[in-house]
Each structure stands twice: as structure tokens, then as C-alpha cells.
Amino acid sequence: MTSHRDADHEHSQEALPSGETSLSHLRLFQDTAPPQHLPPLALHIGGVDISLGAHLGLPPSPGIAARLAPFIGHRADPTLKVYPKRVTALANPRHDSHFTVESGTPLKITGSLFSLRYNKPPPHATLHVEYLGSYDALLGALRLGLAHHLVHRGRGLLLHSSLALFAGRGILFPGPSGTGKTTAVSSCPGTLLSDEITALVRKTHDVVAWGTPFGNRLPPSAIPAPQVVLLRLLKDQHDRLEELSPSKALTTLLRATVLVPGDTLGVQKLLPLVLELLPSLTLRTLRCTKKGRYWETLLRPWLTTKGEVQ
């Protein structure tokens, strides 16, 4: 389980023009730019219908808007209602890259760029967000709020993982930065769904993986991916597939999960939830070189073999 100390920072840094300005100058511009009326949005992310309320703020950058576009659509009955508010200061903000958590009902999480308050009274869960600066911070808060919502409702997980759709199956590459998960999906002969954050969601008789608009550098997709294959990436001198034990797969998923550890109830629900998801996944370790040729030599033949992938 990752602590997500970078959850709010990485979004602000994505909008930073390399070599042109500093993060402090960017924040100063964001805080002094005149806000606009931002209309409400209906989003469908990770199988969750979300209403994002209207508010005064800065519009998303073209890059953020392009990432959000596949996930926008009318939903009459959202299950997560988000009430955003752009502010000039947070109450008791963090001054580092970690979070302060007040576990309970409601759940309160405060970082350096946003704070959120999550409550789940039936029939709709609510997420109240206060954020500083640009739309990037709001998107960071939405990512963290959705991650906790999925776990609290027993629906699924947000993972640090890339995702591709190939041969009718979702191919999941969980892991931290530097493990090769972006290379894995960018070289896939199928459809890239996400290169950074993926939702793994339980359905009645299956587990479905979804791309998300969070953190991507490559264009994401909102297509659901069934029959999920989990591939743990390990760098090696040769490309080969190996069996992956359920215990190692469990550790891989827990380490990749987006969740702030201070959420006591969420942490209590996490392990049973992952144990319920695991039997529906096909598990393998992919030992691979940096050349990324394993799709043609290993994965395509394996995944397109007639019959079930075992």
C-alpha cells in the first residue's frame, strides 16, 4: 500500500513547463489568476458514476481536459457526489509531501494542495474538496477520494498500474515508477487504457479493470477490460513468463494500492477485498529486458492461443 505522499504534488508538476518557471512561481500565478464559473461535470471512472459540482475555479489545462474527455458522460443517478471549492488557504495544511488523516466518519485527509472530507451515507457518498491553485490539485483530490470510496464500499481498488486491452483481456502491469509499466502498455499491439493509475473493480461474476484520467502521460481510455491478467514486471537479461504465486500477487497489489494508511477503516477493509479479487485474476511474472520485444515473442502468442489462458 503506497502512502501517496506525491499524490497532490505530481499533478501540479505535470503542468509545469520544463525549464521555464519554478513551482512557486506557478502557484503564485494560479493563486492570483481570476477564477471562472466551472460548470458541473458527470463522470464515469472505474465503474463509479460521479457528479462534480459547479464552482469558481480555473479551467483545466488542455492536457487535463483531454485526459478527462473519455470519462465525461451524463449519469442520472451518481453514487459519488463531489463538492469542490477553490480556496486561497487550507486549514492546517501540510508543508511537506505527506498527508494528515482524521479517520472516522467523515474521513478527513489534508495535504499541502488540497483537503477532502469523505462521507458515505446512503444512497450517495459525498466528497467535499477544498483545493489551492489549478485544476490539477482538484484532480489529485478526486483521485484520492475515489480510491478511498472504492475500498470503503468494497467495490475495488485504484492501483499504481498501467493497463492495456489485448485479445479481449485486460493486461495489468502494477508497480512503482521505473518498473517498465509505461513501456509495457505503449508497446502493446492492442489498446492502451492507462499508463499510470488503473481501477480494478469487482463485478457479480468477474473483475473488470478500467483506465482512469489520473496521472497519464499517454491518452487514456474509458473502455472496461474483462478477464484481467496481472503481470508482475521484473527486469532481467532474458524475456520469459513464470508462474506468480497468489501470495506474491497479494503483496504486489497491496503495494500498488492508492490509499492513505491513516484511514483505519479503509486499511481494515483492504486485505479482505484484495483476497476476494485475486481468484478472478490470471497471475504471471514477466521477466523482461528493456527492449520491450516481449509482446511479439511471449505475450501475443500466449494470449492469442486458442482456449483459456491458464
Give me the average pLDDT of each 10-residue run along the chain (310 residues). 48 34 42 83 95 96 94 86 96 91 94 96 91 95 97 96 96 89 92 96 92 90 96 93 96 96 95 96 92 88 72
The per-residue pLDDT for 17 is 33
Cell 474538496 locates to 129
Asked if 209 and 193 touch (Cβ cutoff 8 Å), the reply is yes
Q: Which three cell numbers stand for residue 146?
A: 475515489
The rounded distance, in Å, linking the Cα atoms of 261 and 147 is 12
All domains in the chain, ordered by first residue: 9-154 (no CATH), 157-303 (3.90.228.20)
- Is pTM, for the whole model, over 0.85? yes
CA distances to 151, 162, 173, 179, 254 from 285, in Å? 26, 15, 10, 13, 16
**What pLDDT is recorded for position 260?**
95
Long-range contacts for 271-276 (Cβ within 8 Å, ≥24 apart)?
A: 273/151, 273/154, 273/156, 273/157, 273/202, 274/157, 274/250, 275/250, 276/202
- The rounded distance, in Å, linking the Cα atoms of 279 and 119 is 30
- Note the pLDDT of residue 34: 85
Residue pair 170/191 in contact (Cβ under 8 Å)? The answer is no
